[in-house]
Amino acid sequence: MKKIISACSAILILLSLFCLSASAQTSPCDVNVNYSAHIQDMGDTNTVSNGDILGTTGLCRRMEALRLSLSGNTSDLSVEYQAHVEDIGWQNAVSNGATAGTTGQCKRMEAIRIHLVGTRSNDYDIYYRTHIQDYGWMGWTSNGKASGSEGYAKRIEAIQVQVVPKGTNVTATGPNSNSRQAFVTTSPFTPDDFSSNSGFLNTKIMGNSGTTAGQLVSFYKENAGINFPDYYLKRNVDLNQFAQMYVEECNAENVRVDIAFCQAMVETGFLKFGGDVNISQFNFAGLGATGGGVLGENFAAKYGDNANGIRMGIRAQIQHLKAYASTEPLNQNCVDSRFDLVTRGKAKTLAELSGNWAADKEYAKKISNLLLKLY
């Protein structure tokens, strides 16, 4: 008899863990969101819907994968979602029942973004919140914003998702259910800087990203495919010093060093060069190289074939970025001979560099893709 009672108790516990109502207070909706997960030690769950809690709390079990789909009046409407996974980072977005996350790899999901797509997506909001390790329930968020954590190695343990008519306020019972932030991150980007469709293209160029020289060094080593050039080493500048120059010059003009450094890596092919500009010019952003064999600015000739020339080449790039992104005056003496040729403030975001700094329509996207690898 005790065994029967124990078995029934276990079943009731599991049912409560996977199907507990969220007590979400919303308006009736003709669209349902259905979701299931893959949970550590439990495998695939049953499907729940419309604000139900999916996952576990208090058992220290990671959510490893998530699947979402819509039902009801779904004409010209679908759901797209993107997971941030341990050791992987942000995966590509998937949709309509596909798996976000991993199975069989013992990797925790750490954050999620969910949004509706289709011609009727403007008629609805999709709200969600996550229960994460050491934090508990995070605040509600919606429509593609991140929920969970990034950079803290915290697992998602449970989730709630709700589709509601546009403008409906979603609330929930329980402590801190609405006052807590939805997402915590160590990244210098805010959650709104990123979208699954545009990457970091909406990020402003001006500002202090907090990126360290050590991060830039690690990024270069992991992605360059070559050692730092001997050409610079012979001029008494190693990779650490090169990265520190970028940090110092960007801080001096309040330009984001992460954007500036990734731009230089796009322009030079991680210091391989190979285009019209060559390594001896210390021109890290193609300044004055207008095509057709035009070499562009030569900072070694102007400021010395040495560490100072290298620094001045970096400074000119940063000043040129500031010319595009701001109307504020320079804080250091101008070494960018093309500074006054720019219409000040015409490219305040990364996206706006395409067609302004470079004719390449994919120019900003290339920089954005490197920022994803940096963080």
Reported as a single tens digit per residue, the pLDDT across 106-129 is 999 999 999 898 889 889 999 999
State the pLDDT at residue 308. Answer: 97
Is 340 part of any domain? Answer: yes
State the pLDDT at residue 264. Answer: 97
Is the pLDDT at 189 greater than 90? The verdict is: no
pLDDT band at 90 (very low <50, low <70, confident <90, very high): confident
State the pLDDT at residue 23. Answer: 39
Is 284 part of any domain? Answer: yes
With beta carbons less than 8 A apart as the criterion, state whether 131 and 137 touch. Answer: yes
Q: Same domain for 74 and 162?
A: yes
Reported as a single tens digit per residue, the pLDDT across 94-104 is 999 999 999 99
Kind and range of the H or E run holding 323: helix 307-325
Q: Same domain for 171 and 276?
A: no
What does the H/E/C string look like for 112-147? EEEEEECCCHHHEEEEEEEEECCCEECCCEECCCEE
Of 9-23, 270-284, 360-374, the range with the lowest mean pLDDT is 9-23
State the pLDDT at residue 151. Answer: 85
pLDDT band at 214 (very low <50, low <70, confident <90, very high): confident
Q: Is 269 left (phi over 0), alpha (psi -120 to 50) or beta?
A: left
Is 190 part of any domain? Answer: no
Is 191 part of any domain? Answer: no
Is 195 part of any domain? Answer: no
State the pLDDT at residue 174. Answer: 40
Kind and range of the H or E run holding 363: helix 363-374
Between residues 275 and 346, the one the model is more confident about = 346
pLDDT band at 234 (very low <50, low <70, confident <90, very high): very high
Q: Is 331 exposed, middle or buried (0-12, 13-18, 19+ CB in 10 A)?
A: exposed
Q: Same domain for 267 and 153?
A: no
Q: Same domain for 151 and 223?
A: no
Q: Same domain for 177 and 256?
A: no
Kind and range of the H or E run holding 219: helix 213-223
State the pLDDT at residue 374. Answer: 83
Q: Same domain for 251 and 368?
A: yes
Average pLDDT over residues 159-171: 89
Average pLDDT over residues 56-65: 96
Q: Same domain for 146 and 271?
A: no
Reported as a single tens digit per residue, the pLDDT across 22-40 is 334 444 789 999 999 999 9
Q: Same domain for 155 and 69?
A: yes
Query: What's 340's DSSP letter?
Result: G
Is the pLDDT at 188 greater than 80? The verdict is: no
In angstroms, rounded to a whole number, what is the distance separating the alpha carbons of residues 157 and 110? 9
In angstroms, rounded to a whole number, what is the distance separating the alpha carbons of residues 211 and 163? 37
Is the pLDDT at 190 greater than 90? The verdict is: no
Is the pLDDT at 2 greater than 70? The verdict is: no
State the pLDDT at residue 145. Answer: 84
State the pLDDT at residue 193. Answer: 59
Q: Same domain for 83 and 227?
A: no
Strand duo 63-72 + 100-101: pairing: antiparallel
CATH code assigned at 314: 1.10.530.10
State the pLDDT at residue 192. Answer: 52
Domain interval for residue 230: 213-374
- Whether the model pTM is above 0.85: no
CA 369 to chain centre: 10
Is 300 part of any domain? Answer: yes
Reported as a single tens digit per residue, the pLDDT across 313-366 is 999 999 999 999 999 999 999 999 999 999 999 999 999 999 999 989 999 999
Residue with tokens 């065994």: 3
Between residues 209 and 244, the one the model is more confident about = 244
Closest CA to 137 of 39, 228, 6, 20: 20
Is 132 part of any domain? Answer: yes
Is 192 part of any domain? Answer: no
Is the pLDDT at 9 greater than 50? The verdict is: no
Q: Domain total for the chain?
A: 2
Angle ∠(296,337,324) on CA atoms, nearest 5:
95
In angstroms, rounded to a whole number, what is the distance separating the alpha carbons of residues 332 and 317? 13
Q: How far is CA 32 from CA 28, 38, 48, 267, in A?
A: 10, 21, 10, 47
Kind and range of the H or E run holding 368: helix 363-374
Q: Is 2 exposed, middle or buried (0-12, 13-18, 19+ CB in 10 A)?
A: exposed
Whole-number average pLDDT of the chain: 87
Q: For the chain, give the percent of residues with pLDDT over 70.
A: 87
Q: Same domain for 151 and 225?
A: no
Q: How far is CA 211 from CA 103, 111, 189, 199, in A?
A: 33, 22, 10, 18
State the pLDDT at residue 300. Answer: 96
Kind and range of the H or E run holding 157: strand 156-165
Q: Same domain for 180 and 224?
A: no
Is the pLDDT at 12 greater than 60? The verdict is: no
Q: Same domain for 336 and 218?
A: yes
